[in-house]
Structure 1
Amino acid sequence: MEFYEFIKTANVEDVVLRQPLQPPSRGTLCVTGHHLLFSVREDGNARQVLLLLRNIDATEKSVENFSGYSSCGCVCRMTGSSGTITVKCKDLRVLQFDIPGMEQCLNIAHSIETLSCLSCVSEMYPFFYRPPHLSLQDKWGLSSTEEFYSQTKELHDRWRVSSVNRGYAACPSYPATVIVPKDVDDDMLMKVAKFRQGGRFPVVCYCHRKNGRVIVRSSQPLTGANRKRCQEDAFLLQAVIDGSDKGYIIDLRSSQQAQQARMTGGGFESKSCYTNWKRLHRQMERGKVLQESLVKLVEACSDESHNMDRWLSKLENSRWLSHVQTALSTAGLLAECVERDGRSALVHGSEGTDSTLLVSTLAQLIMDPRCRTLEGFLTLLEREWVQAGHPFQQRCAHSAHSHARFQQESPVFLLLLDCVWQLCRQFPLALDVSETLLLRLATEAYASDFGTFLCNNDQERCSLEVKEKTHCLFRALLRREEREWCSNPLFEPTELAIWPSVYPQSLQLWTGFFLRWTRETQHLVEAQQGIRKMRRSYHGQCHRLLFYKFLYDKKKHCSVLSFHRTLCKKKTTFHIIPMCW
């Protein structure tokens, strides 16, 4: 396919762009195979707005007179044939283009609608993106299963790396190699794969450094209405707990949902077959319910009525924060089983590709300090989401603005990033992750220059040669030029687990994402810049100690202003940091 076939009008002059946080500007709008390019030259200065077409969630067009610039420089009504295209992006930005000429407007709108919905992965922009500082010869990805196994010495006694999925014969959504008990051979694994939905048999994703207990994840067993059994599956789970007397199964469905799943061929682990496992049900919404929650929240954030009762009502009806609370509390339960009770745990829902990955990722962040470093966090995302088979292509096909009927879309990855943001807010020193990085990841998951979030699983990436023909986002984020804004300048490693509070008053709306295009969030960017200046400017340890005293001295309830005065008395140069507690 040639992109020019869908571009009837390549560029239009005298277009007025209206965008958040910026005054209206007039310039030239160009349409390419993958981008919208708006160029403006004012007062001798040229600037551009480049928008990836894949980032466009919906377009609205109307044919009418539009507002433009008069000769005196003010905005006025202009007559004649013209149109307006409103572009609603997956990152929640809304842009409006006032285009002179009705035919040009319709042509541009048609090109945007067609090119923003390309279904062929190999025609998407990551296959054409060639930045000068990256090479296709560079290693793709941060870590493999073999590297993770070699770095986790606690796994070496009882666990092994299996190549049973070489060629994706056992499970299309798993990587080629997985970590399983040494006592279970590959023939048994093939039988267990047939007993689990989608072939997602139990595999190890985490091993506790101190007690050696593991987190295992899978999909639901296919017991069906006849309550079928699989001796190999029961043997595998018994090998997971080895000599310990008990293990926990965290089923991310209600007991009623698990019972109903039997009617469609699914089911759960029965007590009679898995005698040493205790099953706990923690219902987590996913799929259409989660997508509708995001739509309602974005609608509430776009409401400009400035009515407090209306805003609070819409926020509550969206139930987004309830989903955040459920995810954090379930992850806390999983971490408690491993960290405090010293038991291994199996976590799964139905398919094991959504809520399962969400809970296992958050539990590892709670327990493991290695996952809370910048590189450790990105490696965790790669292992638990990219390699483990989260279907990004399906889940992130549309965001909150699309007029299309939602099919398999679900903002599970966005929910994860929101939960991580809550952890960063509650523990501002414990994670080497900046809000800027979380915002970047949220945008890249829906529309990216890189191939990391393309396709639905490792098998699809292999068949389309994604790793050979595109660049890896995580590799790019770890370059020296990117680390400064990706990392948390206040990061102080701790070996302790971080247990998040899930009380309603402890959770807040992620304004940096959901209200990122409003003027009220501009101070967040300024605060981040101030923090980074502070890190570069101070050298004495006394400044650090003073800052810690400010953070943790609850008896004096020191305010930002009084802290600033303290520093001024000591003739210390310091940047004030607005903290959220």
Structure 2
Amino acid sequence: GELLLCEASTVYKYMQEDGSNRGSYGKLVCTNFKISFLDDDSASDDNEPQFKNKIVGENDITLQCVDQIYGVYDEKKKLLTGQLRKYPEKLIIYCKDLRVFNFCLRYTKEEEVKRIVSGIVHHSQTPKLLKRLFLFSYASAAPNNTDGRNQTVMFEILEDWRDELERTKGNVKYKAVTTNEGYRVSEKLPLYFVVPICISEESILKYEGRGIPIWCWSCHNGAALLKMSAFPKEQDDSTSQMQKAFLDGIYKTISKPPYELLKMDDLSSSLPSLQDIQTAYTRFKQLFLIDNSTDFWATDVKWFSLLESTNWLEIIRRVLKKAIEVAECLEIQHTNVLLIEESATDLCCVISSLVQVMMDSYSRTKSGFQSLIQKEWVIGGHRFLDRCNHLHKSEKEEAPVFLLLLDCVWQLVQQYPPAFEFTETYLTVLSDSLYVPIFSTFFFNSQH
């Protein structure tokens, strides 16, 4: 369960809304789950928000949600990491959900300042082991509630895949396979997945599932959306020739009747790289992580040009455009589309999810959208642990791929609200859940 690690009294929290020094005194605490500010005047509930998170309060920051921590020394800001020699008089915490917290520590006892600042920096910023995540201590302490009302299809059993094939009328040309039971093929692949009927078990086993078209969804006209993890580009000639021959055989097999024409789309060349996405999002994020009114007014004047220069909206535009292209291929051209990516667990997930949201009304219901996330992302092997950098191990792997999907879906919800059973509030809650280590959904790299 949750354990108190350190605390400090007489901490002053500034209000974020204005440039004045208004705020309130209280206690700043750090547990193995979150950082919390306990307001001394917490009895006044006049400003109760319309929507309230049941797990994380307005003054709570889960350790996973902490982005950067700055200390203020003589009015100069300094990024805090690792061991500290000197302790700041102010603490600024930037959160991954774009909140900013300002704490004044001038009136706090020196010993408490040392403990709370060191504790917060250590527990939120240093690399950690997977087993050290709060998720595990919570799971062992929490009662195991299996709610029978859950309508989300989990895709953890073969039957779920067969039902999905039947629902989309894809069961004539595609089959659910058990080849990866016991993770015989690869730990990165789900236990069960769907491939064209003509694909043999030997083919799946040959290259650990690489080069195999995996089924995502079937259109009402029979055309299907498939994805495939590509072979590594840098290989010796004989290996790459063997792999090319293998791929040619696969393509020939799935291009013959009863299968539709096949269009291949290499997403690594037609969409921005993960690095580009991360760079754009980092720039985008900076527009919101403002901790004083001077910076706010300076950016407010040129807000739209700054927003455009981040390139984040351009990436969203390109991704939505690509999803529309794929949808038109399936619907109008009656063509199968094979999305290709190195691991088929990043942009493949984004495009296949968007196509299904656009074309399948079930995916626009709450339970349908949750099942879609489960199928394409969780079971599909999106590396949430690395992409969200939950363990603070490598920033190179970090990229807001899932957030990109949510932002794209948000654009669609804004344009066609009656078509969706959920609103932006639901998408925001989903986004927040990325950093709440109570739900195991977004904290692993694969089903394994």
TM-score range, shorter chain: 0.7 to 0.9
The C-alpha deviation readout for 1:463-512, integer Å capped at 9, x for no partner, is: xxxxxxxxxxxxxxxxxxxxxxxxxxxxxxxxxxxxxxxxxxxxxxxxxx
Of structures 1 and 2, the larger Rg is shown by: 1
TM alignment of 1:528-567, pairs within 5 A: none
Alignment partners' CA distance in 2, 1:336 and 1:83: 58
- Give how far 1:419 is off: 0.3
Unaligned runs of 5+ in 2: 49-56, 76-86
Number of the residue aligned with 2:54: none
Residue 135 of structure 1 is aligned with which of 144, 147, 158? 144
Of structures 1 and 2, the one with the larger relative CO (CA 8 A, separation 6+) is: 2
Does residue 58 in structure 1 map to residue 64 in structure 2? no
Number of the residue aligned with 2:191: 176
TM alignment of 1:83-482, pairs within 5 A: 83-99=89-105, 100-117=108-125, 119-129=128-138, 135-137=144-146, 142-144=153-155, 145-153=158-166, 154-193=169-208, 196=211, 201-208=212-219, 210-222=220-232, 224=235, 226=237, 227-230=240-243, 231-243=245-257, 244=259, 246-254=261-269, 283-301=270-288, 302=290, 303-306=295-298, 310-397=302-389, 406-459=395-448
One-letter code aligned to 2:89: G
Alignment partners' CA distance in 2, 1:222 and 1:112: 41
Q: Using a 3 Å threshold, how does the CA distance of structure 1 residues 349 and 305 change in structure 2: closer, same or farther? A: same
Q: Which of 99-108 and 431-440 deviates more?
A: 99-108
8 Å contact from structure 1 (residues 288, 406) kept in 2? no
Alignment partners' CA distance in 1, 2:417 and 2:72: 46
Alignment partners' CA distance in 2, 1:44 and 1:443: 26
Q: Which of 217-226 and 95-104 deviates more?
A: 217-226
One-letter code aligned to 1:240: I
- Give how far 1:234 is off: 3.3
SS in 1 for 2:38: strand
- Give how far 1:56 is off: 0.9
Q: Using a 3 Å threshold, how does the CA distance of structure 1 residues 437 and 21 change in structure 2: closer, same or farther? A: farther
Unaligned runs of 5+ in 1: 66-80, 255-282, 460-581
SS in 2 for 1:358: helix
- Give how far 1:310 is off: 3.3
Q: Using a 3 Å threshold, how does the CA distance of structure 1 residues 15 and 393 change in structure 2: closer, same or farther? A: same
Alignment partners' CA distance in 2, 1:55 and 1:186: 42
One-letter code aligned to 1:341: Q
Alignment partners' CA distance in 2, 1:313 and 1:149: 49
TM-score by length of 2: 0.81
Q: Using a 3 Å threshold, how does the CA distance of structure 1 residues 430 and 395 change in structure 2: closer, same or farther? A: same
Root-mean-square deviation (CA), in Å? 3.1
TM-score by length of 1: 0.64
Number of the residue aligned with 2:52: none
Q: Using a 3 Å threshold, how does the CA distance of structure 1 residues 431 and 45 change in structure 2: closer, same or farther? A: closer
One-letter code aligned to 1:295: T
One-letter code aligned to 2:213: P
Aligned-pair identity (%): 25
Alignment partners' CA distance in 1, 2:44 and 2:307: 42
Alignment partners' CA distance in 1, 2:140 and 2:12: 30
- Give how far 1:246 is off: 2.2
8 Å contact from structure 2 (residues 9, 28) kept in 1? yes
Alignment partners' CA distance in 1, 2:42 and 2:296: 33
- Give how far 1:174 is off: 1.3
Alignment partners' CA distance in 1, 2:421 and 2:141: 28
The C-alpha deviation readout for 1:124-168, integer Å capped at 9, x for no partner, is: 222233799973455796321531322432222222211111222
Q: Which of 127-136 and 223-232 deviates more?
A: 127-136
- Give how far 1:438 is off: 0.9
Alignment partners' CA distance in 2, 1:122 and 1:43: 34
- Give how far 1:50 is off: 2.8
The C-alpha deviation readout for 1:522-581, integer Å capped at 9, x for no partner, is: xxxxxxxxxxxxxxxxxxxxxxxxxxxxxxxxxxxxxxxxxxxxxxxxxxxxxxxxxxxx
- Give how far 1:11 is off: 2.0
Number of the residue aligned with 2:39: 40
SS in 2 for 1:304: helix
The C-alpha deviation readout for 1:74-114, integer Å capped at 9, x for no partner, is: xxxxxxx9721111111111101212234422321111111
- Give how far 1:225 is off: 6.3
Q: Using a 3 Å threshold, how does the CA distance of structure 1 residues 54 and 19 change in structure 2: closer, same or farther? A: farther
Alignment partners' CA distance in 2, 1:234 and 1:19: 62
- Give how far 1:427 is off: 0.7
Does residue 15 in structure 1 map to residue 11 in structure 2? yes
- Give how far 1:396 is off: 0.7
8 Å contact from structure 1 (residues 28, 39) kept in 2? yes
Q: How many residues align?
A: 404
Alignment partners' CA distance in 2, 1:305 and 1:398: 33
The C-alpha deviation readout for 1:389-437, integer Å capped at 9, x for no partner, is: 11111111179xx9x9831100111111110000011111111121111
Alignment partners' CA distance in 2, 1:82 and 1:322: 39
Alignment partners' CA distance in 1, 2:314 and 2:266: 19
8 Å contact from structure 1 (residues 337, 344) kept in 2? yes
One-letter code aligned to 2:186: C
Alignment partners' CA distance in 2, 1:126 and 1:135: 14
- Give how far 1:181 is off: 2.0
